[in-house]
A and B are shown apart, each in its own frame.
Chain A
Amino acid sequence: KNEVEQSPQNLTAQEGEFITINCSYSVGISALHWLQQHPGGGIVSLFMLSSGKKKHGRLIATINIQEKHSSLHITASHPRDSAVYICAVPYKYGNKLVFGAGTILRVKS
């Protein structure tokens, strides 16, 4: 079993839809990262959170430490949100990250 599981693997949505991507992990963590990668592009850090909820524009990330689960929500989705979304958790000490397999999101206009 992978230490970080994401679902769904692929997601196609219509512009304007509310989107949820889920991440479950099996290790104890201090924080969880949500990352975004556009096709052919580099990786951008969207959120790092250790409790509760964070919001940035149309993006909302939540985490439940007890249930070892986090969700990334996109409100009013737009074609420019099409990208791969990856959750990652730090492993033990230091800055080593363990990654989920990613969710490929396509938003159609």
Chain B
Amino acid sequence: QKEVEQNSGPLSVPEGAIASLNCTYSDRVSQSFFWYRQYSGKSPELIMSIYSNGDKEDGRFTAQLNKASQYVSLLIRDSQPSDSATYLCPSSRGGATNKLIFGTGTLLAVQP
């Protein structure tokens, strides 16, 4: 079983719709959860971090964390073609290294 599970997609949504991206985790040790966006051939870019259960909103983005269910999601409101990218949801178990554990990523395609 993979430590971080993501649907690889592609997830296709029309412009202006809400895109919903999900991740599940196999462990209960992870402490911190992140959403990174990666355009093709570019570097992963941090867009959201969430550390406690509940919702966290930043502009058009809302991250939702449920540690008991080992689940985190990202909602993108009013999706734009520029949101088309691969979305990664690594977790961190903390400690001295704070290394990130990644899933394979979900490809989001926003159709104009």
A, B from the same assembly? no
Residues in A lying within 8 Å of B, measured CB to CB:
none
Spell out B's residues near A (CB within 8 Å): none
